[in-house]
Amino acid sequence: MKFLLQRLAFYVFTAWAALTINFFIPRLIPGDPVTSLINKFQGQMSTEAINSLYVLFGLDKNASLWSQYVDYWGQVFHGDLGLSFTFFPTPVADILKQSLPWTIALVGITTFASFMIGTSLGVIAGWRRGSIMDGLLPVTTFLSSIPYFWLGLLAITLLAGPNSFFPSSGGYEPGLVPGWTGSFIGSAIQHSLLPALTILISSVSGWILTMRNMMVTVASEDYITVAHAKGLSERRVMVSYAARNALLPNVSGFALSLGFIVGGTLLVEIVFSYPGIGYNLFQAVGAKDYPLMQGVFLVITLSVLVANLLADVAYLLLDPRTRKEG
């Protein structure tokens, strides 16, 4: 329990540091969001309007940096992340609320599936090393060396097209209204197949490789020999003795990859014009949309932190050696 509280304190501190950096970065880079917004409106703005924009973005020149900082925290706690330029005057929070489910659904499910499939295959490949399963390794190593955005481009070129079952871009059929209707969900699934497959193929091999190698390492441990000597069934030795121990490093890897769900597949979303958070970031960078960028960074930071916390908890549950006495 004490360990968990310590970790929690650490994460609170990290979150504070990340948010503070998030506050300072736009104030340190040359030019400011208002200038770029003015440029967008091509100077057709009154001085009052410009001044009120500065206040709106928390960049009031009359306010001290400290009071800006305090205001910033107040806004963050209210979920107010400012207004987006690209989709002016939609609040950033609304945009994120819209795109986050897409990313979590697509990348979350594929990351989980990739981890489960890769780990299971890795367990078998490691346990039966020297068998046909080892032929899988060069293939997976090759696949893992392919960048997934390139794989995505390849998939679009080869599989998608006007008459193909696979749509080449977007998250759903343009005419449909998002909602819990059968046709919408069907369309969303159809649109997610190619990006999901791309991510799955390029990431599953990493899990296979690490799990197989850990299995081979663990298989030579004394307690595996003891488990065999005890006359336990092959399955029980493989699952409860070998895989159970080999899984530990992979679990932390998995938790970390959960953190990168939000930000890590930016390129896939760009390639497929998928309405997720990575695509938001791409648009924000293109339009110098600082508030949106800040918002996306904030979400990425928080999700990495939450994922790390999950990894700590998972490790605590899975490995008794990390638990402290008392």
Partner 1 sequence: MKTPVLEIKNFHVDYGLGPEAVQAVRDVTLTLHRGEVLGLAGESGSGKSTLAYGVTRLLPPPGVISGGSVVYHPPTGDSYDVMALTDAELRKFRWAETSIVFQGAMNSLNPVHKISTQMIDVIRAHEPQLSASARIARAQEMLKLVGISADRMDAYPHQLSGGMRQRVMIGMALVLEPQVVIMDEPTTALDVVMQSQILAQLVELRERLGFSVLFITHDLSLLVEFSDRIAIMYGGRIVEQARSVDLYKDSLHPYSEGLLKSFPALRGERRELAGIPGSPPDLRGMPTGCSFHPRCPQAFERCSAEIPVLGVPAARNDPTRSVACWLPGRVPVVQKG
- Point out which residues bind partner 1 (CB under 8 A): 130, 220-223, 225-233, 236, 240-241, 244-245, 248, 318-321, 325
Q: Tell me how far, at minimum, the Cβ of 247 lies from partner 1, in Å.
A: 9
CB 210 within 8 A of CB 253: yes
* Beta-ladder partners of 83: 91
Q: Tell me how far, at minimum, the Cβ of 136 lies from partner 1, in Å.
A: 20
Q: How far apart are CA 65 and CA 61, in angstroms?
A: 9
CB 295 within 8 A of CB 93: yes
Q: Tell me how far, at minimum, the Cβ of 310 lies from partner 1, in Å.
A: 19
Q: How far apart are CA 219 and CA 296, in angstroms?
A: 43
Q: How far apart are CA 298 and CA 284, in angstroms?
A: 14
Give 119 or 301: the residue with its C-beta nearer to partner 1.
Answer: 119
CB 302 within 8 A of CB 15: yes
Q: Tell me how far, at minimum, the Cβ of 117 lies from partner 1, in Å.
A: 23
Give 40 or 244: the residue with its C-beta nearer to partner 1.
Answer: 244
Give 50 or 239: the residue with its C-beta nearer to partner 1.
Answer: 239
DSSP string, 40-103: HTTT---HHHHHHHHHHTT--TTS-HHHHHHHHHHHHHTT---B-STTTTSBHHHHHHHHHHHH
Give 151 or 247: the residue with its C-beta nearer to partner 1.
Answer: 247
Q: Tell me how far, at minimum, the Cβ of 122 lies from partner 1, in Å.
A: 18
Give 20 or 240: the residue with its C-beta nearer to partner 1.
Answer: 240
